[in-house]
Amino acid sequence: MDSEKPIGLVLLNMGGPDSLEAVEPFLYNLFSDRDLIQLPLGALLQKPFARMISHFRAKHVAENYRNIGGASPLLHWTGRQAEGIARELGEAFRPYVAMRYWHPTAEETLRRMAADGIERAVVVSMYPHYTGATTGSSVKDFRRTASRVYPELTFSVVEQWYDWPAYLDALAHQVNEGLNQFHELMRDGVQIFFSAHALPQKFIDRGDPYLEHVMETVRGVMERVGERPWHIGFQSRSGPVKWMEPGTEEVLDQLASDGHEAVLMVPISFVSDHIETLQEIDVEYRDHAHGRGIRSFGRSPSLNDHPLFISAMADLVRSNLEDGA
């Protein structure tokens, strides 16, 4: 850390379309990734299937992006996070972002790092909970691309941080901020509902630790928030495969059936606002909840570039460096 050479800080994330015209090619890139989605009939037909599915889904997905401003805010927030963490770490660090399914790609970022004279870097997955479908795919892509584009780069990778204490502190703070949205007379009855992105059940069955990591995060957050009723569900399920259960809609239905009228949604596997928070939770699940009789529906603020989260991630990087990375 005392070298005169700058140290790269690279945040890996999924990426999202930066315009409505980018929706279909973004979906094609996503559906082409066999680490994330294994379409039937094998690898040879993955790309033809991806082209067909992305074409047919693009119109509906583009309308969702239109509803949130016409583009994904994920690059904006991931860039802000990279800049904030690098600022906390000190002048020696240079921030970068590499997206899996849209720009800037790992190749674009690595070429920029080479041009900037970066010889050493810390690469951080912005998915707190490990699964081969997200962190695994992004890290594999970065390693593969680095070996081809910039083999001289020395880097370490932080793949998971689901139980990092300062991250749990920051998330618990956001949960309390969310609870404060409700009138004090009804706050004790608010049901805290953690919603994580679903995976096909076969990922869990093969030993993927994602569910275990998510549950550890929830337990760590609730230890900090205090004794309150909480629930967990899994969102963004689509297609004919068997998904993790229960689904977010099913949990909302059960809460309504049990007579609960106030729910706080907590997006647990996302660290910044994007389509799953701004459209799926804030619009679709809100409307679903209201339609079932849940009168008060709120969401805890996303971590985005909150100072507690930025500080937590800077400490995580320092710990990685101190461990001899």
30 is catalytic: yes
User: How is residue 321 written in tokens?
Assistant: 């460096």
In this structure, are residues 57 and 44 in contact, taking their beta carbons and an 8 Å threshold? no
Catalytic residue among 14, 74, 113, 264: 14
Q: Note the Cα 239 to chain centre separation in Å.
A: 20
150 is catalytic: no
100 is catalytic: yes
Q: Please name the residue ranges forming H helices in the chain.
A: 23-31, 46-67, 74-89, 106-115, 137-149, 165-179, 201-205, 210-225, 248-257, 275, 286-291, 307-322
Catalytic residue among 9, 12, 27, 36: 36
Catalytic residue among 18, 96, 100, 141: 100
In this structure, are residues 164 and 316 in contact, taking their beta carbons and an 8 Å threshold? yes
Catalytic residue among 28, 65, 96, 101: 101
Catalytic residue among 94, 197, 299, 306: 197
101 is catalytic: yes
222 is catalytic: no
Catalytic residue among 141, 273, 282, 305: 273
Catalytic residue among 24, 83, 280, 305: 280
Catalytic residue among 33, 141, 276, 282: 276
Catalytic residue among 12, 27, 30, 171: 30
In three-state secondary structure terms, 313 is helix
276 is catalytic: yes
Q: Hey, what long-range contacts does 130-133 have (CB within 8 A, 24 or more apart)? A: 130/159, 130/160, 130/162, 130/208, 130/209, 130/210, 130/213, 131/199, 131/203, 131/208, 131/209, 131/210, 132/35, 132/203, 132/208, 133/35, 133/36, 133/199, 133/203, 133/208
Catalytic residue set: 14, 30, 36, 100-101, 197, 273, 276, 280
